A and B are shown apart, each in its own frame.
Chain A
Amino acid sequence: MRRGHLITWLSLLTVLIQSPDLCAQERVLLRLDRSEVTFLSEAPLEHITASNTNCTGLVDPAARTFAVQVPISGFEGFNSPMQREHFNENYMESSDWPAATFAGRIIEGVDLTQPGTYSVRAKGTLKIHGIEQERVVPCTVVVAPEGVRVTAAFDVAVADHGIRIPRIVQQKIAAVIKVKVDVLFKNDKGK
C-alpha cells in the first residue's frame, strides 16, 4: 500500500515536472486532501452512479498546473456488486489501465494564493482506458484558508476512450457519462 502511494506520487510529480511551464524556483505545491469523483450513467433502462474518494493529485498554484489521478478500482456505489465487477473487468479493464488521469493547466490567469471564488477552465489531457483526449473543463475554484476546493462537472463520451459497449446493454449504459468532481487541495508544506 505504501509502495503504491509512492509510485502514484512519483508519476504525478513526473507529469508536473514535464509541464514546461514550471520554473525551477521555490515551489509551493498543493496536495489533494479530500476528494469525491462521481459518475452518472443515465440510460433509458437504468441509472448507474458510483463515486471514488481515493484520488490523488497535485496543484502548482504559481504555474497554474495540475495533475489528478483516479484509481478506477476505487469506485464504490453501483446498483450491484456484479455491476462493479463488470465495470472494472469488462469496460474499464482496470487491471490494464488502473487509473484515469487528468493533467494540464488552468487557462485563466487567476492568482490561486488569494482567497476568493474563481470560475476557471482547466485544459489538459484526460486519459481514461489508456486513450488520451484533450479536454477543456470548466471548474469552480474556491480559495479559502483551509485549502483550495475545486468543483467541476463534465461529460465523457465512452466512444472517445475506446470503451466498447455491447449492443445488448446499450439500453442500460449511457453513451455519454456525466462526471462530477469535488476535491479539496491543501498546502503540502506541513508534511
Chain B
Amino acid sequence: MSRALLGMLALAFVNGTFAQFPFTRVMDVRVGQQRPAISSIVQDSDGMIWAGSDRGLLRLDGDRVDVVLNLGVARVTALAPVDTGVIVALSTGAVLYCARNRCDTILLDTVLQRSPVRAMAVDGHGRIYVGTYGAGVLVASIRGVSGPSMVEGLPDDHVNDLCLLPNGSVVVATDQGLAVCTEGKVQAVFSEEQGAPDNLVLSVTATLDGGVWAGTDRGGAFLWRLGHARTTDHIGAAACQGPVEGIMELDGMIWIAGSMNGTLLFDQGERNHAYFPSAAALPDARPALDLMADRDGAIWWCDGSDRLYRSDPAVLIIPDHEGVDLKQITALCIDRGKVWFATADGLYSHPTAFRGDARLMKVPLQVDPRTPIVSLDASGDGTIWAATFGSGLFAVHPDGSIDHLDDVHGAIDPNVLSVRAGGGMVWTATLSGMFSVGNGHVEHYEAPGAGFMYMVLPLPDGSVLGATDGNGVVRLDGQRTVPVSTTGPRTYYSLARDSGGTVWAIGPSSGLCRVGDSTMACTGSELPMFNGDVFALATVAHRVLVFSSAGCDAYDPSTGRWTDLTSRSGLEDLQAELNAVCQSPEGALWLACNKGLVRMHALDHWYAPKLSTVITDVLVGSTHVPIRAEWRTTHDRNGISFRFTAPYYADPGAVRFEFRLSGLNDRTVRTREREVSYPALAPGRYTFQVRAFLGEDATGAEWTSMRIQVDPPWWLTWWAITLAVSLFILLTIWAVRTRDQRLRFRQRMEQEQVRFQLEALRSQVDPHFLFNSFNTLMELIESEPDKAVRQVEDLSMFFRNILQVRDKTFIPLADELRLVRTYFGLEQRRFGEAITLEVSVPEVDQRMSVVPLTLQLLVENAIKHNVATIEAPVRISISSTAGFLVVANSLRPRRSPARSTGFGLDSIRKRYAALSPRPVEVERTETNFVVRIPLVPTGT
C-alpha cells in the first residue's frame, strides 16, 4: 500500500516538474575542521571569490580557503566587490575594505548594529552606498575621509538590497518599493501605487541596458525601467515558487534565488522556460540567500550552509523527463527543432527547448526490446531513420507512416549499426558491409574481410566512408569498398567531419586519426582517454571532441593541443552508447550518456582558459607585507613566503604553477602548491615570477612578477666596507711606518753609539798621548837624538797598528800584545823605570782574540791613573788564566785624579757584553787593580 503511494508520489513529482538543470558543482567549504555558514558571495577583479560567513571573511580560489578576517562573534552581513578587494559590513557596525592580505576600517557606527547592513554598492567615484535595515542608505567614501551622508527621500528606511545602474544612479529595494537615487537624492519611486506587483522588494539587479530586475516577497520578479510607469516584464509569483531572495540577469537568463532547491533559471526570451535544479542532483540544497555571476558566465549561490554552488548554464543536464529515463538513451538525432531519441521502450521526440509547455511525443514504433534502436538520423525530407541491431531499418515519415526494411522486406542486413543520410540517399553500416537506400531500391557494397562495419559517413562531395572492424577506414569505390590505408590501426568506431572538411576517426586505442586520401595520421593514442572505452566523436567548428570513459577531451588541429573538458562539463565517469552524440544547427552538442541527456555549449574560453595569476599574500617572517610591485626589506627580516593562486573554478585540480626567483637562481620550479618560502635570502635584488597554466603546457601563460630588495646590513654597505678597508690600510701603513722608524732609529742609535765609542776611544788615544809623546820627543831630541829617532819610529808604528786594527772586531792577542809593547815603549821613554810591563801569556792563548785596543786602553789607564815613581813603579802584568786575559797593575791612585771620562773601562765592558758570552771582570783591591778579559777563540 505504502509502496504504491510512494510510486504515485514519484510519478506526480516527475510529471509536475522538469528535471533539468545547469551542470552544478557543489564546493564544500571548510575552515580547518569548522563548517562556516556562508551568507554572501562576491567576486573581485582578480577573479577570487569572497564569502561572508559566521566564521569570518573567506577567500576562495577553487582549491584553498583563506580566512582573511577572523571575526569571533561577529558576522559578515554584506559584501561588495571593489577592484582587487571587497567592502565588508560586519554585525558589529564596522565597514571595512579588504584586499589581498589586509583590511582597513572605512566606517564604524553603532547605528549599524541596530540597523544591520543588508547590501552595499560602490560606484566609479569610490562612493560606497550602504543600505541598512532601519537606517536608510548611508553614503561613505572608500577612503573613509569624511563621515557618511544620508540619502534623503527614501520611501522606507528598511533597505533590503541595492544595485548600481550603468549611469551611476543607485536603485534601492526597500520594504515599501523601489527608489532610484542620484547624488544623494531620490529621483523616482516605484511601488504598488505605481504598479509594482509588491511593495516588499527583497532583491534587485541592474541589466546592461539600464533596466532593473527586482524580486519581491509575494509578487514574483519584475523588470522596470526608469521613466516607465509600469513593469516591462514580469515573472509570476507561482513561477518563482516563493519569495525572491536574490536575482541576477546574465545573457538573457534570469536567475532567481530562494526556491526550495536553490535557484531557478528563467530564459528571458521564452516565457515559462524555467530550469529547476533536480532534487536528486542537489539533495541538500536549501533556499538560496545570495547569487553572483562569475567572469566565466557561471552563477554562484550560497544557501547559509558550508556549501557553495556553481552552475554553468553552458551545460544543461536532463536526467529524466515526463517519466522517461533519459539516462537510458541508445541513440539520438536532431531535426527541425526537435530532438529524437530512442530508449529500450521506443522512439521519442521532443522540442529542443525543454520548456514547460513542451511535451514528449512517443512514436508508435514497435521495436523488439531485444533489438533496440542503435542509431538515428534524419534525411532531408523530414524522415527519421531508426537503425536496430537485429530488426533492420525503420523509416518514420513526417506523415506518421512507418516503413520497415530488413532481409525479408528490403533485402538489407537486419544487423544495422549505423544509419546516416546524405546526398539524397540513406547509408547504413551493417555486419555485412554497407547498404544504400534511395530511389526505392537497396544497394549492397561489400566490405573487405568479414565486413563488420561500425559507422558510415556520407560526405558532401558524394564519397562515402565506413569505419570497419579489422580493415580500417574504407572508402566506397564503385561497387566495392577499399581501405583508405593498409597501415595504422585497423578498427574504428566513429567518424566525423569538421567545418574545414577534414574527416576524423577514432577506434579502440587508435588515438585520433585524420583520414587522408590514402593515409591515416593518428595522434594522442598514448592519452588516458584511449586507454578505456571510446564512445563518440564530434566536431565543433574546427575542433574535435572525443567522448570516452575518461570524459571529454577537445583537440585543436591548428595548435595540436588537447584540452580536458571533463571537469568543466561534469562528464566524469562517462558511459555512453556508441555514437550517441549529435549537434544542433545552433552549435550545441547533445550527448546521451549515463548522466542523462546533456546539452553543451562549449564556449571558446573552455578550450583556452586564460588564467590570471595573483600573488595573494607575502609574509616576511610572520608579518604580512602590503602587496606592491616592488618592495624592500632588511637583512635580518629575510625569511620570505609568497602565496599565489590562479582562480579557476571549473576544474581547480588541473591548475599548475611555475615560479622562479631570479637573482637567487634562474631555476624555474613547477608545482601544484600555492605557496613557496625562501627562509633566508641573502642581501640583493630579486624578482619573483609566477604563472599558472593547465595541464602540462605552460607556453603562453603570463608571468606575474614582484621585485624585492633585501638591504644588506650596515656593515656590508659600500660605504662601510670602503671605510673599513681604508681604515685598515691606514692602520697598516701607520704600523709599518712606526716599526720602520723605530728600527731605523735603533739602528742609527746603535751606529751612533758605536761610532761615538770609537770616536771617544780614538780621541782618548789621541790628544794626551800625542801631547805626552811629543813632550818626550822634544826632550829626547835635545838630549838623546838617537832615542828620539826610535821614539818617532815607535810612534809611527803604533799609529800604523792602530790604523790597521781600528775597523776590526777582533784581532789576535799576539798583535794586540805587539801594539801594547810598542805603546809601552813610547811611555817608558817618558816614565823610565817608574813603569814596568810584564807579559807572560802562553803561546796557545796568544792565538786567541781580543777586541782591538783593549790592552792598550788598560795599560794606558794604569799609567794614567797611578802615581808612577822609581821607588814605587807602576807594575803592569799581563797574563792569561782559564780563558781570561788578566791585566793587573799595582794601585796607587793619583791624589788629584787625572782627567777621566770613565769611558775606557766602561766601553770595554759594553763591547764585550755585546761580543762575548762572558763578561769582563774588574777587581779592585787596596793595592791592585785587576781586569779579566775573556779570550775569544780566533775566527768567531
* A interface residue numbers (CB < 8 A to B): 18-21, 105, 107-109, 121, 123, 136, 138
- Rounded to whole angstroms, the CA-CA distance of A136 and B115 in the bound complex is 17
- Rounded to whole angstroms, the CA-CA distance of A109 and B158 in the bound complex is 14
* A123 touching B157 in the complex, CB below 8 Å, given contacts A20-B115, A20-B135: no
- Chain B residues lying within 8 Å of A20, measured Cβ to Cβ, are 114-115, 134-135, 157
Q: A21–B175 contact, CB under 8 A?
A: no
Q: Given A20-B157, A136-B217, list of 16 further CB < 8 A pairs?
A: A19-B134, A20-B114, A20-B115, A20-B134, A20-B135, A105-B175, A107-B217, A108-B199, A121-B200, A121-B218, A123-B158, A123-B175, A123-B200, A136-B200, A136-B243, A138-B218
Smallest beta-carbon distance A172→chain B, Å: 17
Q: A107–B199 contact, CB under 8 A?
A: yes
- Chain B residues lying within 8 Å of A138, measured Cβ to Cβ, are 218
The range of chain B's interface size is: 10 to 19
Check: B176 CB closer than 8 A to any chain A CB.
Answer: yes
In the complex, the chain A residue whose C-beta lies closest to that of B155 is A109
Question: A-facing mask of B332-351, CB < 8 A → 1, else 0?
Answer: 00000000000000000000
Smallest beta-carbon distance A85→chain B, Å: 31
- Chain B residues lying within 8 Å of A136, measured Cβ to Cβ, are 200, 217, 243
Question: A-facing mask of B112-134, CB < 8 A → 1, else 0?
Answer: 00110000000000000000001
* A18 touching B199 in the complex, CB below 8 Å, given contacts A107-B175, A109-B176, A136-B243: no
- Chain A residues lying within 8 Å of B134, measured Cβ to Cβ, are 19-21
Question: A-facing mask of B316-341, CB < 8 A → 1, else 0?
Answer: 00000000000000000000000000
CB contact list, B126-178 vs A, under 8 A: 134-135, 157-158, 175-176
- Rounded to whole angstroms, the CA-CA distance of A148 and B199 in the bound complex is 24
- Rounded to whole angstroms, the CA-CA distance of A108 and B114 in the bound complex is 22
- Chain B residues lying within 8 Å of A21, measured Cβ to Cβ, are 134, 157
In the complex, the chain B residue whose C-beta lies closest to that of A157 is B286
- Rounded to whole angstroms, the CA-CA distance of A138 and B114 in the bound complex is 24
In the complex, the chain A residue whose C-beta lies closest to that of B202 is A136
- Chain B residues lying within 8 Å of A121, measured Cβ to Cβ, are 200, 217-218
- Chain A residues lying within 8 Å of B158, measured Cβ to Cβ, are 105, 123
Q: List 7 A-B contacts (CB under 8 A).
A: A18-B114, A21-B157, A105-B175, A107-B175, A107-B200, A107-B217, A136-B200
Smallest beta-carbon distance A23→chain B, Å: 13
- Rounded to whole angstroms, the CA-CA distance of A123 and B135 in the bound complex is 16
- Chain A residues lying within 8 Å of B115, measured Cβ to Cβ, are 20
Smallest beta-carbon distance A166→chain B, Å: 19
Smallest beta-carbon distance A154→chain B, Å: 13
CB contact list, B232-267 vs A, under 8 A: 243
Smallest beta-carbon distance B177→chain A, Å: 11
In the complex, the chain A residue whose C-beta lies closest to that of B132 is A20
- Chain B residues lying within 8 Å of A107, measured Cβ to Cβ, are 175-176, 199-200, 217
- Rounded to whole angstroms, the CA-CA distance of A18 and B133 in the bound complex is 13
- Chain A residues lying within 8 Å of B243, measured Cβ to Cβ, are 136
- Rounded to whole angstroms, the CA-CA distance of A121 and B175 in the bound complex is 11
Smallest beta-carbon distance A125→chain B, Å: 10
- Rounded to whole angstroms, the CA-CA distance of A153 and B796 in the bound complex is 157
- Chain B residues lying within 8 Å of A109, measured Cβ to Cβ, are 176
Smallest beta-carbon distance B356→chain A, Å: 27
- Rounded to whole angstroms, the CA-CA distance of A21 and B114 in the bound complex is 12
Question: A-facing mask of B883-920, CB < 8 A → 1, else 0?
Answer: 00000000000000000000000000000000000000
CB contact list, B210-239 vs A, under 8 A: 217-218
- Rounded to whole angstroms, the CA-CA distance of A123 and B217 in the bound complex is 10
Smallest beta-carbon distance A66→chain B, Å: 14
- Rounded to whole angstroms, the CA-CA distance of A19 and B115 in the bound complex is 9
- Rounded to whole angstroms, the CA-CA distance of A89 and B564 in the bound complex is 56
- Rounded to whole angstroms, the CA-CA distance of A107 and B160 in the bound complex is 13
Smallest beta-carbon distance A67→chain B, Å: 15
Most buried by B among A18, A20, A108, A136: A20
Smallest beta-carbon distance B216→chain A, Å: 10
- Rounded to whole angstroms, the CA-CA distance of A105 and B217 in the bound complex is 15
- Chain B residues lying within 8 Å of A19, measured Cβ to Cβ, are 134
- Rounded to whole angstroms, the CA-CA distance of A20 and B159 in the bound complex is 13
Smallest beta-carbon distance A143→chain B, Å: 20
- Rounded to whole angstroms, the CA-CA distance of A19 and B175 in the bound complex is 15
CB contact list, B170-223 vs A, under 8 A: 175-176, 199-200, 217-218
